[in-house]
Structure 1
Amino acid sequence: MNNTNALTNALIEALTTAVRCFSIDQVCCHWPYSDRHTMKAAVDMLKDRAIITIESHLIHPPPESSGPEFVWMPGDEEPDFAGVAYRLRSRWSRQKRMTPLAFPTRVACEQFGGTRVRPRASELSHDVHFAEVYLQWVRIRDNVTHWKSGDLLRLSEPVAQFGSNIPDAVILNANGQIEKIVEGGGRYARGKLELLHETYRGYAYELW
């Protein structure tokens, strides 16, 4: 398999198992171990084959981040919810702009497995931000073998312990058990963070 095919397959796999969408800028400019020309060709090919669709939406640009905004492990002191909420909300200050986004099609899931969940318009800024979290995870850890999206978690695992707060993604250990929760931080108020913490406190979690 040549490098282009490997990158194309990695993009499809990410869209059907890891995240709900990518911005075209994320794919072409930020994809690990590739370049703009190669990824632009991959996007065009997948679009021509009806494996992805490209749509422009008005969203906030993802906040700039080099790592988690907050990290917690069982046994740590209770978080400063007000401080974390302030930091999260202050990151979303840039104006919305029309942004081309790539979504997987039904054909993608039929051919490659996984799932596709169509985000609501109100979720798109968060989902593009979380796609950036995924790309950073790939660059930092160089291993996403044990990454499982919340959408796949809903389909394959008992999730009653999370109630309505299904994580954006979880990291599984070698035995398939949840080792860590990974959550993309939106403009969360203190009350939202307290609710998430109460739900996730039995696990290590990162809030990006």
Structure 2
Amino acid sequence: MKKRTQFTDRDVTVLRALGLQVRLFGQRQLADALWAGDVANARRRLNRFVDMGLLQRNVVMARPLPELLSPVFVWQPGDENPDASQIAFQLQSRWRYRALRSTVIFLPTDITVNHFGGRNKTVMSAQVSHDLGVSEVWLWFCCNHPSYAKAWRGENLITDNEPGQSMPDAVLVDSNDQPAMLIEFGGDYEADRIAAFHDDAVLRGLPYQIW
């Protein structure tokens, strides 16, 4: 007889996030954030969920993430317009010399997505590094600002886009489930992409953070 798996709060946090809020997690980033750096213990637990059909394990090529301790830029309505070129320079500089390397990632299966009421996500290999960065921001909120992590709506759940609006990586919602803040993880962004993201936030009348 198989032993029944008891799900801990940490287990539910990981599975729920993958079902609703982020596309994927890296094994190392989960271990660092939620298993106190114990990769072996994290790997054992995550592989258990693979065996149960809740997660899918892949090995991909991705760039190691820069350390994320705070947003690169924060803006709210009434502030001056940002220097998009300077923000782009900061974002591009932190990615310099970060070569692709083999990375273990975990994705949700349909069972997990359907259980939490999420939507299926398409993961593109060219965007894995970016997706890991978005997940890293969510993990930072989870560990340091849990209310923000709970208010996080990943791009697969954002349905309020209209023609001319860009799709942020995430939206934080208020107690009425209305958009309250835009969240973006910055890759090798050019200044025009930063400016377009800012212009969209202005049209929405929403503050934002670029990580």
Per the normalisation by structure 2, the TM-score is: 0.89
Question: Which residue of 1 is the match for residue 114 of structure 2?
Answer: 110
1:180 matched residue in structure 2: 181
Cα shift at 1:134: 0.5
1:182: how far off? 0.8
Map 1:1-208; keep pairs closer than 5 Å. 5-31=8-34, 36=39, 38-93=41-96, 94-143=98-147, 144-154=149-159, 158-160=160-162, 163=165, 165-201=166-202, 202-208=205-211
- Unaligned stretches of 5+ residues in structure 1: none
Superposition deviation, residue 33 in structure 1: 7.3
Amino acid of the residue matched to residue 181 of structure 1?
L
Q: Which runs of 4+ in 1 moved over 2 A?
A: 2-5, 32-42, 110-113, 142-145
- In 2, the alpha carbon distance for the partners of 1:51 and 1:82 equals 43
Structural RMSD (CA): 2.0
Equivalent AA in structure 2 for residue 142 of structure 1: P
One-letter code of the match for 2:161?
Answer: V
Paired residues in the alignment total 203
CA contact (8 A) 1:148 1:171 kept: yes
In structure 2, distance between residues paired with 1:3 and 1:162 = 46
How far off is 1:118 after superposition?
Answer: 2.0
Displacement of 1:161: 6.0
Question: What TM-score, normalized by structure 1, do the two folds share?
Answer: 0.90
Contact between 1:169 and 1:181, CA under 8 Å: does it hold in 2? yes
Distance 1:32 1:80, change over 3 A: farther
Cα deviation for residue 3 of structure 1 reads: 8.5
Distance in 2 (CA, whole Å) between partners of 1:11 and 1:45 is 13
